[in-house]
Structure formats: C-alpha cells, structure tokens
Amino acid sequence: MDTKKLKYFLAVVEAGSITRAAGRIPVAQPALTRQIRLLEEQVGARLLERDRKGVSLTHAGQFLYDHGRRLMAELDSVAKKARAISDGYSDALSIGITTIHSCIPSISNLISRFRAEHPSIRLALESMLSGPQARAIVEGEIDAGILFTEREDDPRLAYLPIARYRMAIVASRRHPLTESLPTELRAFADAPFIRFSRDSTPGSYDRVDRCFHQAGIVPNTVQECHDDITIRSLVAAGMGYAIMPSIMARGENDLVAYELDDLPISSQLMLAWRKGADSKPIDALCRMVCRSA
C-alpha cells in the first residue's frame, strides 16, 4: 500500500472533509480527491461516503483508519530506531511518563537507572496523562508508558505494577473548605470540586464517581482539567478540592491530603505496553521494574 495515499486518507478523515484536508496538507483539492480514489481502487473497497457536510467512513474505511493510524505510527517508530542506530545506539525506546513524575521518586529513579544500565539504547520521554498514554501505546505512537491505571482499564495492554497510592481529598492548607477535620466525603458535598476530565483518566474518573454515588452525593464540580499541574495550582489557590493520589500533597506546604473511609480507592502506577509487542528494550525495563519490587 502506498503510504502517501494512506497519509492523505488519514488527513481527510481527521479534517472531516477533503476541502479542509487539502488546505492543511497542503495539496490541490482535485489532486487529493484523485489520491483517495486511487487508494479505494487499490484497496478494492469504498472508504468514504461524501455529502455536502463532508465525509464519513464506511465500515471498510473505519477499519483502514483504525489500523492505518497504528501502521503509520509504527513506521515512524521504525524510522526513529533506524536513526538511533545510525547515531551509534543499538536500539530506541519511547516511554510516556505521567505529568507528575517529579512528585514520584520511583519514576525518576527507574528512568535514571535504565539510562545508566543501558547507555546504548536511546531513551525518549513523552509527558502525557494516563488516558492519552494508553491510546498512544495502542496506536504505536510510543513503545510503553508509566501511567496510573488498572489492569481492566484496557485489555489491549500488558501491565507490570510499579506502586500503588491511596486516593485522597487534596485541599488547600491555607484555605480550608471545612470547619473541622473531615472524616467522610459528605463534608465536601457543597464545596467546589476540581477534577480531571474523563478522557484524561477514564478509569479513575469512573471509580471516583462510584464513591460519590455510594455516599449519596452529587459533587459540586466547578472545573474539569486535563492535567495534574493545573489542578494542583487551582487547589493550592483555594479554588476548590480535588481527588488525587495522596502523594500529590507530600512535601507541599500549601496542600493537605485527607484519606477518608468512604473513599476506599487507590491508584495503581503501572508500566504498560501493547500486548504482543516484541521489544528487547521493553523486556529490559520490565526486568528493572521487577528488581525494584
């Protein structure tokens, strides 16, 4: 299959129309239309339905889009590893790391030890939240990830536990939201709640919601955010509370963590990679995690 035509097809799907895709690439619209038609002839199936609003995928088109994105990511990974070998490395490994890795010594220690023990492997780090990390691993954009998740969250991934942290109410020490030391979620029923958007950490989002439901509370959500740093800053400024791993408040003068009996959930820090991936660098990283357990 011609990768240039496949790239054009992916661009059209993501833009939602041939006209918009032609402007983004950029390429003349008639030429782009012809490339899509040639790809359909090569595949032997209609890939797109066209109407005045733009394009939509046929079943065959959806299949090609899902697998095509993964294929292009894998080709990009192969190219990166080839460049690494050309630069004198034996291999390359791209890892997603949580945006709060600086708060978790085990992550920094693991990365430092891997670099020290495997200097011939070019290591690239991508700072990403857990949800985007999982998607990037599945689609081949990164080789592995260190993220907060549970084994059941994505069956397409293989996991190795690194650490587990209790989830807690994280609030400002300087701007208390309750009059006394809180012992249950109900103490925060009316307080402003700042939370992750669901696409950032879907598994954790749902587990927190179940705790609210069991406590008979509808949280007063005032803000949804996509990253830990923003949430911590808003909480420290007294704009509300968040539910995060209790380690987030460790060593912070402005934050306090309350581990409550009716918030009996924890967050598992995992090394994750795509099932079936055959990678010596990932194997080496797994052995290092096992030694640290």
Over its length of 293 residues, how does the chain's per-residue pLDDT go in tens digits? 788 999 999 999 989 999 999 998 989 999 999 999 999 999 999 999 988 888 999 999 999 998 898 888 788 878 888 888 888 888 899 999 987 777 788 888 899 999 999 999 999 999 888 888 988 998 888 999 999 888 777 888 999 999 899 999 999 998 988 888 899 999 999 999 999 888 888 888 999 999 999 999 999 999 999 888 889 899 999 999 999 998 888 877 889 999 999 999 998 899 999 988 878 999 999 999 998 76
Tell me, what amino acid is at 57? Answer: L
The span from the CA of 177 to the CA of 148, in Å, is 27
Q: Is residue 199 part of a domain?
A: yes
pLDDT at 293: 64
CATH number of the domain bearing residue 132:
3.40.190.10
Whether the CB-CB separation of 168 and 243 falls below 8 Å is answered with yes
Residues 84, 20, single domain; the answer is no
The span from the CA of 125 to the CA of 121, in Å, is 13
Burial of 37-57, coded b for 16+ CB within 10 Å and e otherwise, reads eebbeebeeebbeeeeebbeb
pTM of the model: 0.70
State how many domains the chain has.
Answer: 3
Judged by DSSP in three states, 72 sits in helix
Residues 243, 205, single domain; the answer is yes
**Which DSSP state fits 239?**
S
Q: Is residue 130 part of a domain?
A: yes
Work out whether strand 192-196 and strand 144-148 pair parallel, antiparallel, or are unpaired. unpaired
The residue segments making up the domain with residue 121 are 72-163+269-292
Judged by DSSP in three states, 23 sits in helix
